[in-house]
Structure 1
């Protein structure tokens, strides 16, 4: 039996009361959990607390958006819109056509498709329905029927948040909603397996405390070529590391506070974002060394997006709410990142999704030429009192935000198959032989190279990447080098400037016997200018240069003048 709207609207209050008691107990036991104290006045937790074997959703609702039981006629101005998210993260939301993002949640939301239709219509997004093939809802086994029991404990609100965030970031993506039979680990893990078998991008906004046997469950998330995101939790560092976010096969998504200002958006680490060192999962290779996580095992988070309910997103939900509201939590961040990956395209099966983030962060960050600027390094805020890097945001990797937040989709794809090791713009004297090698990195040999805009006289060897030759023309040139490796990875392009300087000495050309136009052109080509012009009686050089100064072959400074005398016939007798 489907609960009445009135009873559903009471759920947030009942769950909030339960959570409030739990939060007091947790704060007493962990007095250092400043994030719990900070979040309390601003939000209500959606789902019941996790217990062993029963994960919880990581949804938070901002309080005070509407009076209890009252519906808003339009989205609150306090909530972020799809346009806000696209602007904040510089997403090109025109991509993603034909790609499917799967959402995994517990129980059935009977209003999922109709609520989604209202959200998308409100913000001018294309319709996504069962009828047009964009939206599909299945049970944990992948079948359209039977669907699970109607949602309890605000899992319906979680479903609305997830669907709306995927729609906001990738409105052209298809959406697969996989509903687990219940909010227990076995059911949810089975739903993930179904989602991964039917989509290349899977968002999960749920989790629970780590447990010793989790490493034996990681196979549910080991799907090469599929991006699986998990929220890190809403209790800050003091809430403990969440699983499955701790699995090395998933992208652990932390949270920020995303604030609108007159100059755009700013971000700081959100006080509730989960972080910490796993007690059981081994340290993945991409977290060894430069990230400096201070963890001997797997560390979370990997990346982040807006999660603070006080800076949360507008969501439409009529199953557990009255319609328009503002939701947050790392439940918001996970589908944002999953949809961002969908805009970029599925990774190769050899490239675990988290690896891509760290490869950009470590191997081709702002200190590498050329800088990529595909991640914003969040350096302020904290989620507890344990210091950097697990609690405090800092320059580089940190627990609440991982390697940072996305700038477009560049961090979600394999880094360029090469690094163009050119330390600066180039400068070479004209007529001086030169050689410059573009070296490959991170790709599969052999590389193939090409270049456009090279100064005349220079060329690039396709196999070696050596640019060589003797430049013949002074001036400034914009050179673009493109490299491919042996795989189907996207080509890498790098642009730099190359100035060909004029010679330090110019040679005066021989223009004797040349007509005016020919002489003028030869002098200009030598980097000199025409000086004084006169006439001299000379029957051997009528209307041609009879004399020049300086003499042909003289070395002079570039830009020097060449004076010319042109032959004319005698006025009275003429030439014989």
Structure 2
């Protein structure tokens, strides 16, 4: 078990030395501390709750404890599944709900969500109107490794709870295939990746409830199989493809770029990483939108009603950013601290302590979990692209936010850091572009329209 300032089980240097060991980015925190309220409470309780809420708003990251949900893969060349589950403490969502009722947050069971839901995310990112009217006929593809046998059923639980329309195989909204496109020849199941899949499907639903969803399951977590799955998603017609995984850079990345990620007219989002400062692939691909992570909290003192800082839990855990060692800098990226590709482009909520609610039942006690990591922010941004409409056939949607840079179409994140680096903007938030959060978080869909 770890606290909000955990000590990583491996140093980042040792992890990065395993060049073939691809790392899954998702950090998941379970909702074992789902909120339970009893009565209205005393005046003293109300004061305590208000004090707790004020502290949460100030720090942006409430204290929680968590443990690792997945073991390290036994095969070289596959990602390490590093999902995290909350085992105690209270999330930002719990604290805020308790303060609104004038009571202290209490731990209960996994029958009630303890993270942000669709209404929260749509409100935070100015998407309420677009989510209600846009997305019909658009398909978001989710690329992950291994099979989640409960994917459709768990998605149905999530959507039903939040009042979203059914998205099933029967009504044509949901489709699950293997990396060859087969609906029957699917990979072996994996509990850790099933949590990742549930997170991705639910976030795509939360942001774009009218969108269709295509789940493409790679045979294993190698870059070759995941890359083939990206290609299959595009072949099957998806114009938005979310990838919540990553690993160490290598000299093969330029080949992977052209083989798997060079798809003009398709918005491909990739998690920037969860290990703090330091570039990862495929976030470093010049053809994708690299998505960083924030801590998201309600803020009654702002017109927006929300505030964000860079997500950082410890020196070895937080949103990724940095300079690629191999990937060419895209023409629309003009910062001077990196001669090659800079990570990230944009960002969204990723801190597990201010995380999102997800329903999952495979390999765990069926129920509600709170997830974080840039595995949450990638499908959120893919959903925003889908709300914005189909990109033109010759465009690279990674460029779109750069054309809206410095406008009200993006929430500029100006506080926090994910580590230390020689060019401070690459790891420390500032006004305008910075590495951890890119140009900021969505405020509507304008910045994601070509």
Whether TM-score is above 0.5 comes out as yes
2:161 is the alignment partner of 1:122: yes
2:203 equivalent to 1:165: yes
For 1:39 and 1:265, locate their aligned partners in 2 and report how far apart those are by CA, in whole Å. Answer: 16
State how far apart, in whole Å, the 2-side matches of 1:296 and 1:46 are: 37
The question of whether the paired residues in 2 share the 8 Å contact of 1:256 and 1:270 is answered with yes
Cα distance in 2, alignment partners of residues 274 and 39 from structure 1: 21
Is the contact made by 1:58 and 1:329 (CA closer than 8 Å) also made in structure 2? no
Query: For 1:52 and 1:251, how far apart are their aligned partners in 2?
Result: 27
Q: Distance in 1 between matches of 2:279 and 2:298?
A: 30
Counterpart of 2:179 in structure 1 is: 140
Q: Tell me what 1:192 maps to.
A: 230
Residue 25 (str. 1) matches residue 11 (str. 2):
yes
Gaps of at least 5 residues in structure 2 are: 17-26, 28-60, 91-107, 313-317
TM-superposed deviation, 1:47: 4.7
* Residues 1:212 and 2:251 are matched in the alignment: yes
Separation of aligned partners in 1, 2:272 and 2:83: 11
1:377 is aligned, of 391, 412, 421, to: 412
CA drift at 1:22: 5.5
Q: What is the TM-score when the length of structure 2 is the normalising length?
A: 0.78
2:329 is the alignment partner of 1:283: yes
* Structure 2 residue 363 is matched with structure 1 residue 324: no
- Is residue 61 of structure 1 aligned with residue 91 of structure 2? no
Deviation of 1:42 (Å):
4.3
- Computed over aligned residues only, the root mean square deviation of the Cα atoms, in angstroms, reads 2.6
Q: Distance in 2 between matches of 1:270 and 1:203?
A: 20
Q: What is residue 315 of structure 2 aligned with on the other side?
A: none
CA spacing shift, 1:141–1:28, aligned 2, 3 Å: closer
How far 1:43 sits from its partner (Å)? 4.1
Contact kept, 8 Å, 1:56 with 1:206, in 2: the verdict is no
Q: Is 1:393 paired with 2:429?
A: yes
Kept in 1, the 8 Å contact 2:64–2:86? The answer is: no
Q: Which of 359, 374, 384 is the equivalent residue of 2:403? A: 359
d(CA) in 1 for partners of 2:343, 2:125: 21
Q: 1:150 to 1:304 in 2, by over 3 A?
A: same
For structure 1, list consecutive stretches of 5 or more residues without a partner in the other structure. Answer: 1-12, 31-35, 367-372, 415-576
Distance 1:301-1:59 versus aligned 2 partners, 3 A rule: farther
Counterpart Cα distance in 2 of 1:73 and 1:234:
28
**Offset from partner CA, 1:450-495 (integer Å, 9 cap, x none):** xxxxxxxxxxxxxxxxxxxxxxxxxxxxxxxxxxxxxxxxxxxxxx
Could you tell me how far apart the structure 1 residues matched to 2:430 and 2:213 are?
36
1:196 deviation in Å? 1.7
Q: Structure 1 residues 24, 59: CA separation in 2 closer, same or farther (over 3 Å shift)? A: closer
Aligned to 1:469: none
CA contact (8 A) 2:63 2:89 kept: no
Bigger strand share = 1
Secondary structure of 1:212 counterpart: coil
CA distance in 1, matches of 2:9, 2:427: 19
State the partner residue of 1:269. Answer: 310
After superposition, the Cα gap between the structure-2 partners of 1:168 and 1:27, relative to the gap in structure 1 and judged at 3 Å, is same
Please report how far the alpha carbon of residue 97 of structure 1 lies from its aligned counterpart in structure 2 after TM superposition: 0.6
State whether residues 42 and 310 of structure 1, in contact with CA within 8 Å, keep that contact through their aligned partners in structure 2.
Answer: no
Query: What's the secondary structure of 1:105's corresponding residue?
Result: strand
Structure with the higher fraction of residues in helix conformation: 2
Alpha-carbon distance change, 42 to 394 in structure 1, aligned in 2, over 3 angstroms:
farther
Q: Does 1:75 align with 2:113?
A: yes
Deviation at 1:308, TM superposition (A): 0.3
Aligned-partner Cα distance in 2 for 1:39–1:214: 38
Take 1:100 and 1:204, find their aligned partners in 2: how far apart are those partners? Answer: 15
Higher relative contact order (CA 8 A, sep 6+): 2
Say whether residues 1:303 and 2:331 are aligned partners.
Answer: no
Distance 1:214 1:173, change over 3 A: same
